[in-house]
């Protein structure tokens, strides 16, 4: 009997939904029926530090990479064969010996405004309380509304919606992709344009990570890879890697396809108080992953030269 593909994932509803999407994509490209997909795959739920520590801001305990740490350790140890990630939670610099083998087609990368009392951010009253745990969203919100009172708002999507219902904040901001995958998009009262709130690097994308030398798993995953998403997020992650910065640095970036070989890109870095913002825009011809990586690296270095290392490390 063929050995099962052991797929590591967090245990949240969203993480499990995204893992189901990966299994469905594999079934589609390999012609498996439902029973075959169940027989050929095994979902391994792994609790991460990011899940376990909920009483402190994420940036204070090591950043979004803590949603991947234990999963990557299991991958390196060989107790799982691949790992499914919300790609925005995966640091741009990955552990030695691991890489990304597959990207599902990207969902809408936009951020969504969610409130029980206002339809848009600008309808909130002066000094309104808005909950978010993202340093990027905090900076972008303050850039738009310096009067806001921002409070820490951690937890999975259901938890944050519950906190909103309990009145812990008057509004929050969530990834539209996550709401859609959980069929909760009706909670979004406004979808921010990219000009209003530029998304996190790789937001809306699901990536599958594996050991670099595991050719068998790579071959199995390769046919499910969505090439346009792969090239776009490769561009964005190279941009992020070139900037460096700490987990306290508000960084945003989005690569969008204009045509079969043309990507337009906008990237931003902000001060934590949102008062200072530096942007870079590019239009690039991209046909290969190496071209996407070089173009993203160039964009990151351009913005780094403009903002300065001291600004990014502040």
Residue 232: CB partners within 8 Å, gap ≥ 6?
Answer: 106, 205, 255, 256, 257, 263, 292
- Hey, what are 5's tokens? 């593909």
- Whole-number Cα distances in Å, 252 to 41, 100, 306: 35, 21, 15
Q: How many CA atoms lie within 13 A of 46 on its CB side?
A: 25
Phi first, then psi, for residue 163 (nearest 5°) are -60, -35
| Residue bearing tokens 């850039």 | 143
- Residue pair 144/196 in contact (Cβ under 8 Å)? The answer is yes
Tell me which DSSP letter residue 166 carries: T
Query: H-helix or E-strand containing 15?
Result: helix 13-30
Q: How many CA atoms lie within 13 A of 60 on its CB side?
A: 8
Q: How many CB atoms lie within 10 A of CB 290?
A: 10
Catalytic residue among 60, 81, 89, 279: 89
Q: Among this protein's residues, is 158 annotated catalytic?
A: no
Q: Determine the Cα–Cα distance for residues 156 and 167; give it in Å rounded to an integer.
A: 17
Enzyme catalytic residues: 89
């Amino acid at each position: 009997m063929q050995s099962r593909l052991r797929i590591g994932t967090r245990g949240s509803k969203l993480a499990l939904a995204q893992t189901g999407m990966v299994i469905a994509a594999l079934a589609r490209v390999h012609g498996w029926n439902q029973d075959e997909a169940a027989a050929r795959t095994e979902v391994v739920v792994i609790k991460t530090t990011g899940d376990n520590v909920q009483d402190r801001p994420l940036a204070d305990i090591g950043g979004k990479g803590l949603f991947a740490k234990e999963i990557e350790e299991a991958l390196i140890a060989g107790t799982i064969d691949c790992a499914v990630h919300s790609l925005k939670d995966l640091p741009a610099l990955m552990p030695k010996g691991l890489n990304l083998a597959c990207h599902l087609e990207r969902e809408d990368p936009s951020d969504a405004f969610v409130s029980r009392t206002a339809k848009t951010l600008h309808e909130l009253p002066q000094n309104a309380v808005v909950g978010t745990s993202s340093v990027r969203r905090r900076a972008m919100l303050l850039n738009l509304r310096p009067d806001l009172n921002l409070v820490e708002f951690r937890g999975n999507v259901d938890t944050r919606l519950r906190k909103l219902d309990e009145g812990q904040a008057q509004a929050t901001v969530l990834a539209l992709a996550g709401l859609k995958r959980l069929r909760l998009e009706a909670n979004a009262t406004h979808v921010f344009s990219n000009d209003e709130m530029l998304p996190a690097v790789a937001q809306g994308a699901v990536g599958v990570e594996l050991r670099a030398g595991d050719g068998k798993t790579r071959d199995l995953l390769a046919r499910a890879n969505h090439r346009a998403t792969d090239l776009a997020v490769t561009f964005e992650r190279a941009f992020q890697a070139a900037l460096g910065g700490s987990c306290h640095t508000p960084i945003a970036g989005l690569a969008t396809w204009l045509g079969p070989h043309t990507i337009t890109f906008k990237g931003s870095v902000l001060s934590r108080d949102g008062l200072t913002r530096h942007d870079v825009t590019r239009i690039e011809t991209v046909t290969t992953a190496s071209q996407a990586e070089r173009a993203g690296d160039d964009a990151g270095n351009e913005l780094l030269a403009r903002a300065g290392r001291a600004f990014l490390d502040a």
